[in-house]
Amino acid sequence: MLRDQAPIMPVEIAPGVYGYLAVTYRAVVYLLRNNPHRFAKDPKHWDALNHGQIPPDNPARAMMQPRDNALWKDGPEHARLRSAITESLARVDTHALAASVTQIADQLIDAFASAGQADLVTQYADPLPMQTVMDMFGCSHELSHRAISAVSRLFNAGEDAARANAELESACLELTDLKRRRPGRDVTTYLIAAGLNNAEMVQTILLLIGAAAPPTSSLIANAKRRILTNALLANNVHSGISSVAAAIDDVLWDNPPIHNYCPLYAQGHQIVEGVSLVPGWPILVSFAAANGDPSVLSMPGDRAGNRGHLAFSAGVHGCPAPTLARLIAETALERLLDRLPTIELSVTEQELTNRPGTFLAGLTALPVRFDPEAHPHHHGR
């Protein structure tokens, strides 16, 4: 176990990229609570990046290099950009959001319902949050299609990542222009009203897409996996004794969608729990290890409704949208249960594999089968 070694230890984050990883609940909370005055978020403090030692195709680079948005700022600049986000997300009509998720869920289910089988990662958990976010931004079908295609090429970090990035930025700018001319009841309009300029709009929309979609996809897939593979939970979910929300809480504790992240940089030489931290090195926090820390672990049965986990991080950079994330995941999972009551895993649990990588949790596939005759059509709600 990593934790048996030290609360914070030196690690190789990605090939040739060195830093620290905080693995106890106490060390993680200490680091997050002392951001930004002792531990800054801005990667301008990252020595290896400043010295040109991180090649452009290193997987750590896409996740850790600075961008001009709230995630990578400290102090007043962070507060200003973040409050534009929190003000805008607070204006989201949650009833309309749930209706939009249900509609997207139905379209996705309709596309595979008659086949009697599906991969719930590529055909449901992955596309649903992305389409939901596009809807929250008030994107037209065509613009949303273009942006989603660019995002998936960007996430796949293929050869045309630079072109995909340029296409995505131009789609975000087009969306901003459109909403400046014709405001709507959507997050793009709310961000404009919060006073962001065009460059800030583009970077903030990109941040929201990147921060919202992948972890919500992972949460949906892993909660569904849990419901499918845990007979007790499956029975409870169907009989209404326990709820989908309990499966979600379990995943947020045991397998948080963002395993390790929030790179921080010591401001001067710092000693935390006896560990000496050299400035200039990134310090990642392990949300996954902290949640599993035996010194805080609640009894498994106590988890439903227990929000003491760190899946949404904490402190000034903590996720501003846990309620929306839960709402999207819960609605998506409820709809799947309503529409496909006979669903079961079509491989053994041991055959399920996780996506590789340091930062994000996620399944590569979740193959299922079901009776195509049992409620294959939705009746509109």
The contact set with ligand HEM (CB under 6 A) reads: 70-71, 82, 85, 89, 207-208, 211-212, 215-216, 219, 257-258, 261-262, 287, 311-313, 317, 319-321, 324-325
Q: Which is nearer to ligand HEM, 113 or 210 (CB)?
A: 210
Q: Which is nearer to ligand HEM, 82 or 153 (CB)?
A: 82
Q: Which is nearer to ligand HEM, 281 or 287 (CB)?
A: 287
Dist CA 364 CA 333 (whole Å): 18
Task: Fill in the amino acid letter for 215.
Answer: P
Residue of minimal Cβ distance to ligand HEM: 319
Q: Which is nearer to ligand HEM, 113 or 328 (CB)?
A: 328
Give first-to-last CA distance, the chain, whole Å. Answer: 48
Q: Which is nearer to ligand HEM, 212 or 272 (CB)?
A: 212
Dist CA 86 CA 28 (whole Å): 24
Which residues, other chains included, contact 166 with Cβ-Cβ below 8 Å and sequence gap of 6+? none
CB atoms under 10 Å from CB of 150, counted, come to 23
User: What are the phi and psi torsion angles at 169 (to 5°)?
Assistant: -60, -40
Which residues, other chains included, contact 364 with Cβ-Cβ below 8 Å and sequence gap of 6+? 121, 352, 353, 354, 355
Closest contact distance (angstroms) between CB of 123 and ligand HEM is: 19
CA pseudo-torsion sign 57, 63, 69, 72: negative
Dist CA 105 CA 108 (whole Å): 5
Q: Which is nearer to ligand HEM, 258 or 277 (CB)?
A: 258
Closest contact distance (angstroms) between CB of 379 and ligand HEM is: 28
Q: Give me the numbers of helices (H) and strands (E) for the chain, helices first please.
A: 14, 10
DSSP string, 287-313: HHHHHT-TTTPPPGGG-TT---S-TT-
Closest contact distance (angstroms) between CB of 210 and ligand HEM is: 9
Closest contact distance (angstroms) between CB of 90 and ligand HEM is: 11
Closest contact distance (angstroms) between CB of 314 and ligand HEM is: 9
Structure-token pair, residue 213: 């979609």
Q: Which is nearer to ligand HEM, 7 or 214 (CB)?
A: 214
Structure-token pair, residue 146: 């273009």
